[in-house]
Structure 1
């Protein structure tokens, strides 16, 4: 690590890979040594050798990645499952700060806030797998990209065909999707924070709506800073990578909070 530049580790959401951060990393690299690993059982990540895989297994694997890179503590940021991973690692003493973007895990034991999300993600997975052969062709259309990814992004038409195809290929190649979507685990209440934590919720999140999952998160992490990111869907890196980077840097203290209009 370069002198004066702290580490920043980025964790992606379920079915995705480190590629989810490709458009965000250039905005962060001036301020931090950035590391974006791919999670256990996801395409390009460590192989899952025991099944079913639980969220705690994914967190364990992420902590081993930190150990392997000699990172004791770092600023952590994550989206969806990645936000959950980041918070769990903070509870293990591995975080200087956490920026959790629409983090998963904030639902009730009865499934409130989880069932609808799982149903939408399963539907997206089935559609992606069934159309994968034609995606290199149809993803040339901005309208198709927007419609195909409407559950996770508001403006997927702004993404490139190559990035849309990478996201789809990551989904098809994820071996632990059913394990993680079927988990009964949830994020426990954290009355006292181990480090500064920002809960940055996508304002147009159709998977984990702020009115449901965001509310539960605020109840369970009452001392966390909570903000709504306007005009972005569940995976805000697709819609507005600059806003995502500014939000993360405001949490790490490397930049002023992004201006809200």
Structure 2
């Protein structure tokens, strides 16, 4: 029986959708999500995407960003959300742009987003090679479970893809990452499909306000080659934020900072609450 977890669903106010990276789950938002909800201005929804640990079955081996967006879109419909402020990290960023293309985004924040390539861009093949190269490590982690983190150098190996310094994520976060990565049913399906498809080709047509968050120590999409496509293709009105010293999943290293930059951006694009209007 496949393990399922209920999405994070907190707060009230403007709808905010949080989408996680490849091999991860909604648990990467377990600190930032409540911080947004605690403002009293946002209703936060963070699901685990199809094929990932705790998420729904994909229903196909041919999984890609469009099919992931289909699953998320059905959840938005169930919530009664025609649109939402969408925040996506890595693969979640790719899905966020797909949802924006369908008219579901009020604003879009892409944190180290994936999909920044064309059909034959070297960065696409480099990215797939990195994840395939990590296959033996994932297999060892699947056999040993979280105990693998107690082996010499294991923590540094585990944190290289996700954080800047080795002491970035907490031990609890690392345990969650190991569990999620080693039980991700979408691992091969997404990598194979990524090889056959182009990435995000219509970035210049994005209509929603965009915030692009780039991380200095991102080893999955290193600067400049890993994010050049976004910087060149997104509308000139897009905001670009650079986070010094942080890795690919900055929510695990600096949740306060990530929550603050999200709140600041959202507040710029959210009408003031009636009680906040003078007079």
Give the TM-score normalised by structure 1.
0.89
Instruction: Name the SS of the counterpart of 1:44 in structure 2.
Output: coil
What are the within-5 Å matches in structure 2 for residues 163-182 of structure 1? 163-182=173-192
What are the within-5 Å matches in structure 2 for residues 121-140 of structure 1? 121-139=131-149
Q: Return closer, same or farther for 1:142/1:10 CA change in 2, 3 Å cut-off.
A: farther
Deviations 1:74-117 (CA, angstroms, capped at 9, x unpaired): 11101001011112111211111111001100113213211222
Name the CA distance, whole Å, in 2 between partners of 1:67 and 1:107.
30
Instruction: Name the SS of the counterpart of 1:253 in structure 2.
Output: helix
Check the 8 A contact 1:155/1:238 in 2, yes or no. Answer: no
Residue matched to 1:36: 46
Q: Return closer, same or farther for 1:126/1:143 CA change in 2, 3 Å cut-off.
A: closer
Instruction: Name the SS of the counterpart of 2:107 in structure 1.
Output: strand
Deviations 1:204-252 (CA, angstroms, capped at 9, x unpaired): 1111123013111111213322221111111111221112112221221
Residue matched to 1:247: 261
Name the CA distance, whole Å, in 1 between partners of 2:27 and 2:11.
27
What are the within-5 Å matches in structure 2 for residues 63-142 of structure 1? 63-139=73-149
Aligned pairs, how many? 255
Instruction: Name the SS of the counterpart of 1:100 in structure 2.
Output: strand
Deviation of 1:37 after TM superposition, in Å, equals 0.4
Deviation of 1:122 after TM superposition, in Å, equals 2.1
Name the CA distance, whole Å, in 1 between partners of 2:73 and 2:129.
29
Q: Among 203, 210, 220, which residue is 1:197 paired with? A: 210
Q: Among 10, 14, 17, which residue is 2:18 paired with? A: 10
Residue matched to 1:229: 243
Name the CA distance, whole Å, in 2 between partners of 1:244 and 1:2.
18
Check the 8 A contact 1:98/1:251 in 2, yes or no. Answer: no
Name the CA distance, whole Å, in 1 between partners of 2:245 and 2:96.
24
Check the 8 A contact 1:142/1:157 in 2, yes or no. Answer: no
Q: Among 64, 70, 78, which residue is 1:60 paired with? A: 70
Instruction: Name the SS of the counterpart of 1:227 in structure 2.
Output: strand
Name the CA distance, whole Å, in 1 between partners of 2:200 and 2:116.
6
Instruction: Name the SS of the counterpart of 2:213 in structure 1.
Output: strand
Instruction: Name the SS of the counterpart of 2:38 in structure 1.
Output: coil
Deviation of 1:254 after TM superposition, in Å, equals 6.5
Task: Please list every run of 5 or more consecutive structure 2 residues that lacks an aligned counterpart in the other structure.
Answer: 1-8, 270-279
Moved more, 217-226 or 35-44: 217-226
RMSD of the TM alignment (CA)?
A: 2.3
